[in-house]
Structure 1
Amino acid sequence: MATVTRAIDCLVNVSMVKGDKPPDWMVRVKEDYFKGGESFLKDADFDQLVDEMDRLGVRRAILTSSVRDGAASKAREFVEKAPERFSLGIGGFDLLRPMKTVRVLSETAANAPVSYASVGPSFWGDGNYPASDAVYYPLYTKACELDLPVTVNTGLPGPPLPGEAQNPIHLDRVCQRFPELKLCMMHGADPWWDLAIRLMGKYANLHLMTSAWSPKRLPESLLHYMRTRGRNKIIFASDSPVLSITRTVTEASRLDLEPEVLDAYLYGNADRFFFDGGGDR
């Protein structure tokens, strides 16, 4: 087992439930897909989260936040308390209102430490808008102007939602039309792992994040890619509390990876891609 000396967790949820009651799909994915306990739906405690990160060598975490929550989100509170440890991954864009999307992304990035903008094709518009659809183009264009990465859910979603829109093949056209765009597939790419690997070999700016995937369940084809041509392409994330930081970092440390490959996966690739090599500043 390799020793983990440093890591960046690129997807942590500090508040899973908006409002008084979680949506039915979230309860179903907790119980049927992840077999999650009650902690799955609980808000994070700041001190407990920092303590867990310190114990595991996690130097920074990117916290999910919606533009609909504005400055009042719990993630924003955590960032304000410890900006050296936390930044934001922003989602919840109204992509059918392109000028509103462009303005809110610009305003948010100007007023908070934003590490990426995030979209989930299966989770809005009834799953009818794959990432190659023109409704995303204003977001991609503004992200290029801001030099801000975009993360896109790929692979079949855990909730009972249509999954075809999250086939990685849709990113082929995106990468061809926006070669400047820093793009990261999020939540793995099951069952299209080999296609995702082929696309990463084709496009320099395309990466993959293993959020919501137990490291010990990652396919051998991806691990082989990490050991060979893709050692700079794969980025660690837990999706805590869906999967805990403790579980995912511990399992990652037990993967059959050389120390420099493990360090790239847990820290170096995220540091370069999301923080321009300044993740410890």
Structure 2
Amino acid sequence: MTRPKVIDAWIQPWTKEVVEGLPDRALHVFKQYGQASRLQDGISLEVMMEEMDAAQVDISLISGGPMVPMHLVLEAMERWPDRLRAVVWTDPTQTSIVRALADLEALVRNYPVCGFKMEAFALWRDPTDRVFYPLYAKCAELGIALQTQVGGTGPLYPSRTGQPLLIDEIALDFPELKIVCGHVGSPWVDEMIHVAWKHPNVFIDTSARLPKYFEPAFTKFLTSFGQDKCIYASDWPVLDFQRPLGQVDSLGLSPEVREKFLVSNAITAFGLDDLRA
């Protein structure tokens, strides 16, 4: 496969089925982003891919989660296998931990899975909750990344679950596990930078954040001592594909740092070795 020029590390299906299954407290975030009218009727998978093409995004990591049914992720994977990689979710609180582990192993065996999505806030739990630890161990065993939300929650759920110091604990317990922390971590950006600097396998992705609003400390991290730790992502459809990508130029990145941010760091964190060519 030709080496991509842009990898978007966080998107999700947004069909009518997703919208109809969301609780009102989850829809709140789209009002805050001014996207409610665009998103309230859902967006087909076909339109998702058309928008991805229009923005010249080569590869996207498409994820399920507590509020996004996995069958939609798998359908998209089957239809566009050369453009999408899966970040999957299995719920130990709805079945059993043993069943969730078996389901995760089956997904990795049967699909090109590169990560496990954790949005602990949606379950009213911290990411350090004991029910998740066997899944983290399985991710490390299978060689897939943990991708999780950090920072304050846009949906009306407790924000404490997104504190970066919780990631510090997970990274200490699972030093082999690659952890990608989405949304940069505001209002705890300095904590997130410290945790990513401290742990070799902790990364930060910029999903749901426009470059023009990056905190100065994060921009400094991205352009200097954290240039190997920062990963581009949109969180489509919270942000569309084009808007955040179009603002990357405003960061004044060197060609080397720009390539790391848009491509190489995602390849490293998610084990996308076939895309290195």
State if a TM-score over 0.5 links the two structures: yes
**Aligned twin of 1:26:** 26
- AA aligned opposite 1:108: L
Is the 8 Å Cα contact of residues 92 and 119 (structure 1) preserved in structure 2? no
**Aligned twin of 1:38:** 37
**Aligned twin of 2:126:** 130
**Aligned twin of 2:244:** 248
1:171 pairs with 2:167: yes
**Aligned twin of 1:157:** 153
Q: TM-score, normalised by structure 2?
A: 0.90
- AA aligned opposite 1:225: F
**Aligned twin of 1:105:** 104
**Aligned twin of 1:78:** 76
Is the 8 Å Cα contact of residues 144 and 271 (structure 2) preserved in structure 1? no
**Aligned twin of 1:94:** 92
1:215 pairs with 2:193: no
- AA aligned opposite 1:218: F
The 5 Å alignment of 1:49-88 reads: 49-66=48-65, 69=69, 73-88=71-86
Shift in alpha-carbon separation, 1:42–1:205, aligned structure 2, 3 A: farther
1:269: how far off? 0.7
Alignment gaps of 5+ in structure 1: none
**Aligned twin of 2:258:** 262
**Aligned twin of 2:200:** 204
Identity rate, percent: 25
> How far apart in 1 are the matches of 2:41 and 2:113?
24
CA deviation map 1:139-163 (0-9, x unaligned): 0110011001001111010012111
> How far apart in 2 are the matches of 1:203 and 1:120?
21
The DSSP-based 3-state class of the residue aligned with 2:102 is helix
Shift in alpha-carbon separation, 1:259–1:175, aligned structure 2, 3 A: same
Shift in alpha-carbon separation, 1:161–1:9, aligned structure 2, 3 A: same
Is the 8 Å Cα contact of residues 64 and 117 (structure 2) preserved in structure 1? no
1:118 pairs with 2:114: no
> How far apart in 2 are the matches of 1:195 and 1:38?
35
> How far apart in 2 are the matches of 1:247 and 1:19?
22
**Aligned twin of 1:181:** 177
Is the 8 Å Cα contact of residues 179 and 201 (structure 2) preserved in structure 1? yes
The 5 Å alignment of 1:5-16 reads: 6-15=5-14
The DSSP-based 3-state class of the residue aligned with 2:237 is coil
1:95: how far off? 4.3
- AA aligned opposite 1:116: G
1:46: how far off? 4.2
Is the 8 Å Cα contact of residues 197 and 222 (structure 1) preserved in structure 2? yes
The 4+ residue runs of structure 1 with deviation greater than 6 A are: none
